[in-house]
Amino acid sequence: MTLTEFKTTSPYNFSPVDIILEWSNQAVELHYGDQERIQISKIQTIASESVDKVVISEISGKDHTIKEILTEASRILKKNGRLFIALGKTVGINPFSRLKAKQKSEQVMTHIEKYVGELDLLIDKNYILQDDQVLLEVVKLESDYILKKVVI
């Protein structure tokens, strides 16, 4: 799912002045509002708490990869920033492959849930779109106090 598709699905969470990191298997791009777009070679070069939104269009099912991605996204995301994650598009594949993709998506969701709690993040919204695709909106909490109140 591209940044444009995320903006269409959740239009009220994006503004023309947001600093957005778009993270996909092909490339990582930093968008400064609607004006400027910069290719990023290493995520580690981005300053902590400097991005308003992080858009992740595909996450692999490997546990360590999910943890690394969510840890880096949490590091660079500003307080109250949003993380958008798309999982499991199964269009155009046979029923057996579709079932396998659905199971993989469920496993990835389990890992995401585990790490979201560890990283002071909160799953705010989730959507199930056509073709069994899941879209998650995750918020970086402002403080530990809020996290404790939400958990209690």
Residue spans per domain, the chain: 3-151
CA-closest candidate to residue 103, choices 88, 91, 113: 88
- What does 60-127 look like in DSSP terms, one character per residue? -S-HHHHHHHHHHHHHHEEEEEEEEEEE---TT--HHHHHHHHHHHHHHHHHHHHHHHHTTEEEEEEE
Model confidence over 58-93: pLDDT tens digits?
Answer: 776 665 688 888 899 999 999 989 998 887 665 556
In whole angstroms, what is the distance from residue 74 CA to residue 82 CA?
9
- Tell me the pLDDT tens digit for each residue of 114-130: 888 888 888 887 777 66
User: What DSSP string runs through 46-58?
Assistant: SPTT-EEEEEE--
Q: Which is more confident, 98 or 110? A: 110
Cα distance between residue 128 and residue 87, in whole Å: 10
Q: Does 146 score more than 60 pLDDT?
A: no
Q: Which residue has the higher pLDDT, 74 or 141?
A: 74
Tell me 11's DSSP state.
Answer: G
Looking at residue 63, its pLDDT comes to 56
- Residue 77 is predicted with a pLDDT of 93
| CATH number for region 3-151 | 3.40.50.150
pLDDT value at position 51? Answer: 94
Q: Please say whether the beta carbons of 115 and 70 come within 8 A.
A: yes
Threshold 0.85, pTM exceeds:
no
